[in-house]
Chains A and B, each alone.
Chain A
Amino acid sequence: MTKYAFFLGCIAPLRYPGLEAATKRVMQHFNIELLDLNGASCCPAPGVFGSFDLWNWLVVAARNLSLGESLNADLTTICNGCYATLQEAWHILKEDPSKRRRVNEVLSKINRNYNAKTGIKHIIEVFANDIGIDKIKSSVEKSLEGLKVAVHYGCHFLKPRKIRGHGSSEKPHILEDIVTALGAEPVHYKEKLLCCGAGGGVRAGNLDAALEITARKLASVKEAGADCILNPCSFCHFQFDRGQVELRERKGIEFNIPVIHLVQLVGLAMGIDPKSLGLYENEIPPTYLDKLGLR
């Protein structure tokens, strides 16, 4: 049985626990064992803590990775931010023994050690490589036919390419492949590759700028006539969902575009109850369920 240690991060467990619940249910459905990563902390966030103090960022990331190593398991995550930090730290410490030595000197203060023997996989990789598109397709119990999905990759699953290694960041297709396998239709929209606006500490430090980017993206989604915006990242999910409330309150702009995480969309197609996937926990109601006859 394939197993992973589930790295929660901050946004999913503390703001959108429906994403955590959906991940557990969907992974169970596919017989992937998810271990609790007891005692994990913030990854720490790549554009926030990485912007404040990269040395501290690397050391704390190494501790989180070391927790997986002591369970002899790769981590998996549903957040591009956590993925960015932990995948990059894994890469740095795997490639450079002298940096690993320096980091381990600090980790020795808490009796831990990280040898870069285990690392992290994004949940997209679990779907694409461990489960596989064919298996996803043949496991569909509730076809999502007729559902128009605007796919959002987020920035840090794909970039920087030379570290992530998932191919083109200008013409990615893995999410469209999964959406299609579920019976839904990925719609083309102009701002597909645009950032959600939240990263790099911009959401905390300059909310108006973050929202302006979000609004640009959402307007493009609306124009394409999508029923929802799909994301593979808790932080993008947060920005799109909560951001729509902020756009309404601060700017009087109304979008009402439902936001759905990849694990939730897969869960729906696997016939899992919408409530237990956390679909009703968003600010923007899941109106696409009507179209699917699920409400």
Chain B
Amino acid sequence: MAQNPLEAALAAPQSPGILDRRLVIVTGKGGTGKTCVVAALALAAARAGKRVLVVETGLGEAVPPLLSPGASPVGYAGRELQPGLTALHIEPYEALAEYVGLQFGMRAMTDLVFRNAAFRQLMDASPGWRELITLGKIWHLREQERFDLVVVDAPATGHGITFLDVPRVVISAVRAGPLRRHASWVEDMVQSPDETLLLPVALAEELPARETAELVTRLREDVGVAVDRVVVNAVARSPLPPGAPDLAARLARLPAQLDCGGLPAPPVLAACLGHAVSRAELNRHYRDLIGRETGLPVVELPYLDGGVSGPDDLERLARALVEPPVRIAAESTS
């Protein structure tokens, strides 16, 4: 990524770097490659000598297969996947059972209650507790200080807001008692700017770009979580070599039947190159738009043709992620 020293200095204010936090919550709309960012960030931290924990909050496990292909699921207990890099999967019922057990030391009774079909029914129908207990478990893991950095694969945007907003809602809905107290601990964790960072992941396309701008505004206003950069994923590089900005038009001008050593005909070459050029221009335009609308510096990750398909790809993303973010100039004309 082209960057001059002045830009780098501007982009790195006094706030701590991405690997110096204790908790990074990665969020983004489905399809933005959030999971790869989580894996790459964890890898970068582990390479920097940190003890890292990756937390999955989804239905299945997506991050562990990226970090350790073919490994069995890490489950709620978690497992070290690489030296210094542990992953676990928070299953809400298990987290709830653990919480209740820890709180009241009534494991036998808790188990009895959890097996109760009516209780399951009540819980299945009740909104909010999954988010709260998941954040609570994260709080607890962080308190144990077994890890320098916890990276959370948060639910997709939309639900991502509610995910972080639940402690606040509980605090205002519950009058007193342990639940309210614990929710306020969790809220303090979310709102601690030196320790906790929310990392939004966006794609440089029209709708995801607008949605990201909206997300960042709401996070700042409603949730009070620190956001200091936006990751713009899968940014395609321009295929054009220097000195040939109009290459697609030149290819289109060549005789349509021309045979160049068995290559596809020039109109096909022109269409393929043209497609790649438009994609790159579009990505650049929306990358800049994200930067301007959020007022945040941008971390750009490259587009990979085949997606993230191996450890090399992940290493590449990991290196790009810890680069200082770049501030997009206010009156960029691209």
The finding on whether chains A and B are genuine partners in a shared complex, rather than unrelated, reads: no
Q: Which residues of B contact A (CB under 8 A)?
A: none
